[in-house]
Amino acid sequence: MTTIYDIARKVGCASSTVSKALNNSKEVSDKRKAEILAVAKELGYVPNSSARRLATKNSWSIGILFSEDLNIGLEHHFFSGILQAFKTYVEDLGYEVTFVSKKVGTQELTYLEWCKYKDIDGILIVTVDVNDENLNELRQSGIPIVSVDSGLINVPTVISDNFQGTRMVLEYLMSKGAKRIAHIAGPLRSFSALERLEAFKEVLGKYNMDSSQVVEAYNYDFNSGKKALHELLKLNKTLPEAIYAASDDIALGVILALRDLGYKVPDDVSVVGFDNIELTRYTSPSLTTVAQDKVRIGREAAKHLIAQINKEVDTEQATIKRVPVELIIRESTK
């Protein structure tokens, strides 16, 4: 590993001059600069990040907080999409992204301790156990934080506009003549599920319609959708005219369950999902759904975090940024 001293020796100057040249300081003449840069290249010089960080107190690194405890980590399509967009954005600015861990070597650390240890510039919370004690510490530490889709109090959050999405779905269904609309909510420990449910009640309430036909799915997945549909039918013998599901996976489960029971979608009942996962374009019937803009969510989160890091925005202020969604009309509604 070659260091600035090696360069200095070869050029015949002081290490401080090399450092300045490498950082393009104007305290070094152009001639010297060129000379130093040439030697640096010749020797294959790469700076040492630890030394630099130690000296500058500037880490250029961002931590990603994925709760390992919940099983809903990286594998979830929605979150990995967001992460991808986030990563791209901040790496373009020169930041490095690292997963926040609870260990270093063999030693156990809290999240905050780990962040201090790594001297992290900011953190993105993707999925997390809301009840995790360690989070409070983190929030109060003053380290810039942003979360996506989390519902954490006191943390700036970027999330799809669940109200807008729900409104579009319901108004569309009503415009098609639906009078009785049911909702398969997502698991209510999830913030988005709560918002969608709330919006469902609010919108239907505004139109003086029955908003009581609600079943909570245990999870956001296909199988929970199937189960939830059966519960819904137990609750109320007659089929609603439309079903608004809190996720595409749930919606697909609902459609399959309906089909198994001999009902036709959309002839007997319309079904709408939420997410716009790739697959929904291709299923039969293809699914009417609300498209979440993963790229934009990731990017907005990145922007806001960087703004905090650069002190362009107040860290204390827990804003919530709602990203517009889009209603995608396909074959599962009529």
Partner DNA sequence: AGAATTAACGAAACCGCCTTCGTAAGTTTG
Partner DNA sequence: CAAACTTACGAAGGCGGTTTCGTTAATTCT
Contact yes or no for 274/247 (Cβ under 8 A): yes
Q: Tell the smallest beta-carbon distance from residue 90 to DNA (Å).
A: 21
* Per-residue CA distances from 322 to 156, 159, 277 (Å): 11, 5, 20
Binding string, residues 52-81; x marks residues near DNA by CB under 7 A: x-xxxx------------------------
Instruction: Indicate the residue type of 261.
Output: L
Judge whether 218 and 224 are in contact, CB under 8 Å: yes
| Shortest Å, Cβ 98 to a copy of itself | 4
Q: Which is nearer to a copy of itself, 143 or 168 (CB)?
A: 143
Does residue 103 interact with DNA by CB under 7 A? no
Mark the segment that binds DNA (CB under 7 A) among 10-18, 133-141, 189-197, 300-308: 10-18
**Partner from a copy of itself, DNA, none binding residue 77, C-beta < 5-8 Å depending on class:** a copy of itself
Given candidates 34, 38, 42, 48, which one binds DNA under the rule CB under 7 A? 48
Nearest residue (CB) to DNA, 6 versus 221: 6
Torsion of CA 302, 303, 305, 308, to 10 degrees: 170
Residue among 62 and 269 whose Cβ is closer to a copy of itself: 62
Residue 3 sits in the site that holds DNA (CB under 7 A): yes
Helix (H) or strand (E) holding 173: helix 162-175
Residues 193 and 247 sit within 8 Å (Cβ to Cβ): no
When asked if residue 15 is in the footprint of DNA (CB under 7 A), the reply is yes
Cα separation, 146 vs 126, in Å, equals: 9
Instruction: Name which of 110 and 223 has its Cβ closer to DNA.
Output: 110
Distance of CA 305 to the CA centre of its chain: 13
Footprint of a copy of itself (CB under 8 A): 1, 46-51, 53-54, 59-61, 68, 73-75, 77, 80-81, 83-84, 87-88, 91-92, 94, 96-99, 101-107, 109, 113, 116-119, 221-223, 226, 252-253, 256, 259-260, 278-279, 281-284
Instruction: Decide: is 28 part of the binding site for DNA (CB under 7 A).
Output: yes
CA dist., res. 107 & res. 11, Å (int): 44
User: Is the distance from CB of 186 to CB of 214 less than 8 angstroms?
Assistant: no
* Among a copy of itself, DNA, none, partner that 235 touches (CB below 5 to 8 angstroms by kind): none
Question: In this complex, which beta carbon is closest to DNA, that of residue 46 or of residue 93?
Answer: 46
Under the criterion CB under 7 A, does residue 5 sit at the interface with DNA? yes
31 binds, among a copy of itself, DNA, none (CB under 5 to 8 A by kind): DNA
Q: Which is nearer to a copy of itself, 42 or 68 (CB)?
A: 68
In the complex, minimum distance from the CB of residue 120 to DNA, in angstroms, rounded to a whole number:
15
Residue pair 58/47 in contact by the 8 Å Cβ criterion: no
DSSP assignment of 87-155:
HHHHHHTT-EEEE--SEETTEE--HHHHHHHHT-SEEEEEE--TT-HHHHHHHHTT--EEEES---TTS
What is 223-275 written as a DSSP string?
HHHHHHHHHHHHH-SSPPSEEEESSHHHHHHHHHHHHHTT--TTTT-EEE-SB
Q: How far is the CB of 168 from a copy of itself (least distance, A)?
A: 25
For DNA, give the closer residue by CB, 106 or 284: 106
Query: Measured from the CB of residue 94, what is the shortest distance to a copy of itself in angstroms?
Result: 4
> How many residues can be counted in the chain?
334
Asked if residue 107 binds DNA (CB under 7 A), the reply is no
For binding to DNA (CB under 7 A), which residues are involved? 1, 3-5, 12-17, 19-20, 22-23, 26-29, 31-32, 45-48, 51-52, 54-57
